[in-house]
């Protein structure tokens, strides 16, 4: 009997590593201690509630608990468990979402340039002058011309739209080619490859529209505006720096395009003095030939020399399961890491023990500053330990992972463990324009309601916002300014929420 008691106490002491020693096991005290330790370890769990945060948190958590409790009784209505392509209208009605819209979110650190603007804006851009359309093998193509080329039967789009019947048909086709939003998305995108095919088709369709220099400038400005209106104050944009064109057929070089983006950024900052700014992560496709990728590596070094404060680093993107591995470029990247920072997409896969998920190993060995997606990281505990030790942030993109088929129900997203263990995490939106999202609030909502604990509160949101500044590419001085601006906005948000204004 005595031996059994000793064994029991030994087990309990292991479970409660940091709890006070006890000679009499107390079930309820031990249970309380476990829950307390879990709460403290989770994201934001070690932050104190300051000023009006306690009252604001009470209001926020009333709505969160109500939403979860209703869904607990009727799981079919739980929004993060539904495909975002169907659920986004209902998400907008959520009281929690409406609060998150007002939340000062800090920064977006993983958004792709071509997909950062809502599809409605790009659709409206198709009403501009000199835009032509042709039907090539059943798919529409758009291009701005002064005089159209002869490679297709190009028709002036504005002329076709003068016919009401024709206009209705062509407008519907354009809208369908701009977005992944469909009825019954889980049937339409029956597996990952199908979703990615549509995803890439949209990029091909919109590229000639937003690649026209006047539209490109307005498009970039609009992307910043949508984020700023959603209470984001700094952005790191992943961009391949497309060769813009004008009606005279001129193609602008990478250097010129970066200069154009920098000027648009400065104009936006002049219009919005509390906006911190933008940095570009030069991002190219991992499907490209080795020669092209090596050429882009050389180019980013030169761009960094020409725009040292505007170019943040380098990345390779695209469907990771189908593309070249980081390992295949390891020798060249090891040379390059002395000259440029890396922000690699890695582990955006549900496979285990393949060349794709092993990109996580190469990413950390190549000194990546952050990891894009990192969906498979829980399967690589040594990599996760390295990430924790070296404070490498994981860029979690909830909606992207769901729409592109990695996870159906966001309650099953592996980032739940990252949040529970307080791993450095930032929330990003990836390609919001392609799936009917806008800016960052939708991803914040999905993370807060679906991936985090039901007990995660306003402190988790606060920590996420601060993480986005802490793990950004901003210089120490820029970070200090960004944090000061954000803190003022945070205090204002907390005061409005606590007083019932929000």
Quote the CA–CA distance of 345 and 363 in Å, as a whole number.
Answer: 8
Q: At what angle do helices 254-271 and 290-306 cross, to 10 degrees?
A: 50
Q: What is residue 372's three-state secondary structure? A: strand
Quote the CA–CA distance of 50 and 56 in Å, as a whole number.
Answer: 10
Per-residue pLDDT of the chain (502 residues; tens, 9 = 90+): 333 333 333 444 444 444 455 555 799 999 999 999 999 999 999 999 999 999 999 999 999 999 999 999 999 999 999 999 999 999 999 999 999 999 999 999 999 999 999 999 999 999 999 999 999 999 999 999 999 999 999 999 999 999 999 999 999 999 999 999 999 999 999 999 999 999 999 999 999 999 999 999 999 999 999 999 999 999 999 999 999 999 988 999 999 999 999 999 999 999 999 999 999 999 999 999 999 999 999 999 999 999 999 999 999 999 999 999 999 999 999 999 999 999 999 999 999 999 999 999 999 999 999 999 999 999 999 999 999 999 999 999 999 999 999 999 999 999 999 999 999 999 999 999 999 999 999 999 999 999 999 999 999 999 999 999 999 999 999 999 999 999 999 999 999 999 999 9
Quote the CA–CA distance of 347 and 385 in Å, as a whole number.
Answer: 15
The pLDDT score that the predictor gives to residue 6 is: 37
Query: What domains are defined for the chain?
Result: 85-118+215-493 (3.20.20.140), 121-193 (no CATH)
Contacts of 248 (CB under 8 A, 6+ apart): 146
Q: Do 115 and 95 meet the contact criterion of CB atoms below 8 Å apart?
A: no
Q: Which of 55, 63, 45 is nearest to 493 (CA)?
A: 55
Quote the CA–CA distance of 317 and 162 in Å, as a whole number.
Answer: 41
- Tokens of residue 403, six digits: 């729409």
Whole-model pTM: value is 0.94
The pLDDT score that the predictor gives to residue 237 is: 98
Largest CA distance in the chain: 94
Quote the CA–CA distance of 51 and 491 in Å, as a whole number.
Answer: 9
Which one-letter DSSP state was computed for residue 21?
P
The pLDDT score that the predictor gives to residue 21 is: 53
Residue with the two structure tokens 């009605």? 93
- Tokens of residue 267, six digits: 């104009």
Q: Which of 438, 441, 429, 434 is nearest to 115 (CA)?
A: 434
CA atoms within 13 A of residue 70's CA, in its CB half-sphere: 10
Task: State the DSSP H helix or E strand holding residue 95, giving kind and residue range, or none if neither.
Answer: helix 95-102
| Sign of the torsion angle spanned by Cα atoms 220, 224, 226, 227 | positive
Task: State the DSSP H helix or E strand holding residue 395, giving kind and residue range, or none if neither.
Answer: strand 393-396
Which one-letter DSSP state was computed for residue 250?
-
The answer to whether residue 373 is catalytic is yes
Sheet (strand 155-156) strand order: 139-144, 131-136, 155-156
Quote the CA–CA distance of 115 and 133 in Å, as a whole number.
Answer: 21
Beta-carbon count within 10 A of 12 CB: 17
Quote the CA–CA distance of 434 and 444 in Å, as a whole number.
Answer: 17
Task: State the DSSP H helix or E strand holding residue 470, giving kind and residue range, or none if neither.
Answer: helix 458-470
The answer to whether residue 191 is catalytic is no
Tell me which of 226, 236, 348, 395 is the catalytic residue. Answer: 348
Tell me which of 112, 113, 219, 373 is the catalytic residue. Answer: 373
Which one-letter DSSP state was computed for residue 472?
S
The pLDDT score that the predictor gives to residue 54 is: 97
Q: Do 282 and 240 meet the contact criterion of CB atoms below 8 Å apart?
A: yes
């Amino acid at each position: 009997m005595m031996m059994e008691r000793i064994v029991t106490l030994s087990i309990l002491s292991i479970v409660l590593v940091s709890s006070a020693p006890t000679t009499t096991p107390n079930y309820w005290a031990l249970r309380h201690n476990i829950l307390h330790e879990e709460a403290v370890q989770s994201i934001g769990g070690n932050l104190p509630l300051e000023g009006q945060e306690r009252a604001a948190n009470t209001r926020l958590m009333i709505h969160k608990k109500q939403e979860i409790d209703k869904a607990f009784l009727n799981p079919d209505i739980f929004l993060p468990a539904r495909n975002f392509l169907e659920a986004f209208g209902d998400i907008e009605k959520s009281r929690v979402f409406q609060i998150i819209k007002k939340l000062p979110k800090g920064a977006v650190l993983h958004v792709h340039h071509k997909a950062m603007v809502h599809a409605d804006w790009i659709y409206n851009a198709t009403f501009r002058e000199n835009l032509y359309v042709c039907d090539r093998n059943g798919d529409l193509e758009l291009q701005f011309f002064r005089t159209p080329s002869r490679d297709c039967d190009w028709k002036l789009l504005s002329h076709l739209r003068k016919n009401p019947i024709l206009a209705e048909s062509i407008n519907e086709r354009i809208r369908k080619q701009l977005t992944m939003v469909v009825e019954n998305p889980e049937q339409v995108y029956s597996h990952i490859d199908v979703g990615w095919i549509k995803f890439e088709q949209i990029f091909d369709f919109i590229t000639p529209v937003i690649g026209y220099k006047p539209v490109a400038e307005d498009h970039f400005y609009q992307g910043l505006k949508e984020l700023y209106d959603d209470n984001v104050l700094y952005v790191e944009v992943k961009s391949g720096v497309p060769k813009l064109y004008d009606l005279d057929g001129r193609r602008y070089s990478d250097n010129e395009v970066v200069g154009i983006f920098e000027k648009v950024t400065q104009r936006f900052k002049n219009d919005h003095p509390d906006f911190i700014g933008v940095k570009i992560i030069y991002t190219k496709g991992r499907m490209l030939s080795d020669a092209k990728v090596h050429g882009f590596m050389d180019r980013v070094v030169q761009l960094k020399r020409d725009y040292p404060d505007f170019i943040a680093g380098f990345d390779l993107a695209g469907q990771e399961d189908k593309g070249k591995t980081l390992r295949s470029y390891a020798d060249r990247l090891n040379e390059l890491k002395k000259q440029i920072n890396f922000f690699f997409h890695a582990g955006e896969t549900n496979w285990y023990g393949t060349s794709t998920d092993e990109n996580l190993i190469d990413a950390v060995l190549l000194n990546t500053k952050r990891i894009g997606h990192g969906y498979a990281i829980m399967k690589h505990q040594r990599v996760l330990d390295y990430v924790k030790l070296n404070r490498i942030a994981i860029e979690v993109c909830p909606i992207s992972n769901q729409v592109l088929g990695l996870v159906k129900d966001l309650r099953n997203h592996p980032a739940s463990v990252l949040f529970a263990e307080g791993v450095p995490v930032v929330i990003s939106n990836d390609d919001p324009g392609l799936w009917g999202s806008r800016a960052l609030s939708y991803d914040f909502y999905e993370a807060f309601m679906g991936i985090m604990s039901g007990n995660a509160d306003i402190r988790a949101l606060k920590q996420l916002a601060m993480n986005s500044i802490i793990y950004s590419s901003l210089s120490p001085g820029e970070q200090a300014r960004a944090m000061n601006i954000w803190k003022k906005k945070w205090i204002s948000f907390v005061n409005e929420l606590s007083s019932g204004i929000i």
